A and B are shown apart, each in its own frame.
Chain A
Amino acid sequence: DAKTTQPPSMDCAEGRAANLPCNHSTISGNEYVYWYRQIHSQGPQYIIHGLKNNETNEMASLIITEDRKSSTLILPHATLRDTAVYYCIASPPVYQLIWGAGTKLIIKP
């Protein structure tokens, strides 16, 4: 079973920041938090990952709480092309990923 819980769906207005929450209350000390997204009928796309510190790249920011029991993925300026299912996964770095149901994010014009 997946070790993370996410809301099944969310809406966000185009141009606004999309904040996607994830709970991983049983995360172990050696497990990273990964975020991937899957646009319809495509393979998953890596977004970002982190261990303890907040991370930022060209796609998104990842905010991890100090106790590491939850995190938030932030897409700073959502576009229609960001409509996808977003998966939050907690896993050791060389282990297979266990996929939950994810959050279906719909960006509205």
Chain B
Amino acid sequence: GAVVSQHPSWVICKSGTSVKIECRSLDFQATTMFWYRQFPKQSLMLMATSNEGSKATYEQGVEKDKFLINHASLTLSTLTVTSAHPEDSSFYICSARDPGTPNQHFGDGTRLSIL
């Protein structure tokens, strides 16, 4: 079945560091990818929709200068958390829409801890 690979799976950084998370669709081309954030014991919250070759669409309350999204190819989207602070610590999850179906396929998430 369709596979989405997310890297890294976990990262621990000092405050002020920028962190890049990659999301790859391994066996299909994804013109649209989604980025979510999940805090402990809460549901997924959509951060932004990433479209190949164009600017991402951010949800209300998500700072686009803080969370930089690049979708330069049909199989890769990246999320960069710039100048990360402890309150940015969370579980970040990407998904890619399979153009052949109405489904989304999810990566295994990235656990980000900012000290």
Interface positions of A (Cβ within 8 A of B): 32, 34, 36, 41-46, 49, 87, 93-94, 96-102
16 A-B pairs within 8 Å (CB atoms) are namely A34-B102, A41-B91, A41-B109, A41-B111, A43-B93, A43-B107, A44-B93, A44-B106, A46-B103, A46-B104, A94-B32, A96-B34, A96-B49, A99-B36, A99-B46, A100-B43
Complex CA gap A87/B45 in Å reads 13
Interface positions of B (Cβ within 8 A of A): 4, 6, 32, 34, 36, 43-46, 49, 91, 93, 95, 97, 102-109, 111
B104 touches A43 (CB 8 A): no
B103 touches A43 (CB 8 A): no
Residue of A nearest to B99 (CB): A94
Besides A96-B46, A102-B43, 10 new A-B residue pairs in contact (Cβ under 8 A), listed by A number:
A32-B102, A34-B102, A43-B93, A43-B108, A43-B109, A44-B106, A46-B106, A99-B36, A99-B43, A99-B45
- Chain A hits for B105, CB < 8 A: 46
- Chain B hits for A45, CB < 8 A: 106
How many contacts between A and B, using CB within 8 angstroms? 49
- Chain A hits for B108, CB < 8 A: 42-43
- Chain B hits for A101, CB < 8 A: 43
A104 to chain B, nearest CB (A): 10
A87 touches B93 (CB 8 A): no
A49 touches B102 (CB 8 A): yes
Complex CA gap A34/B93 in Å reads 18
- Chain A hits for B97, CB < 8 A: 94
Complex CA gap A72/B34 in Å reads 27
B35 to chain A, nearest CB (A): 10
Residue of B nearest to A45 (CB): B106
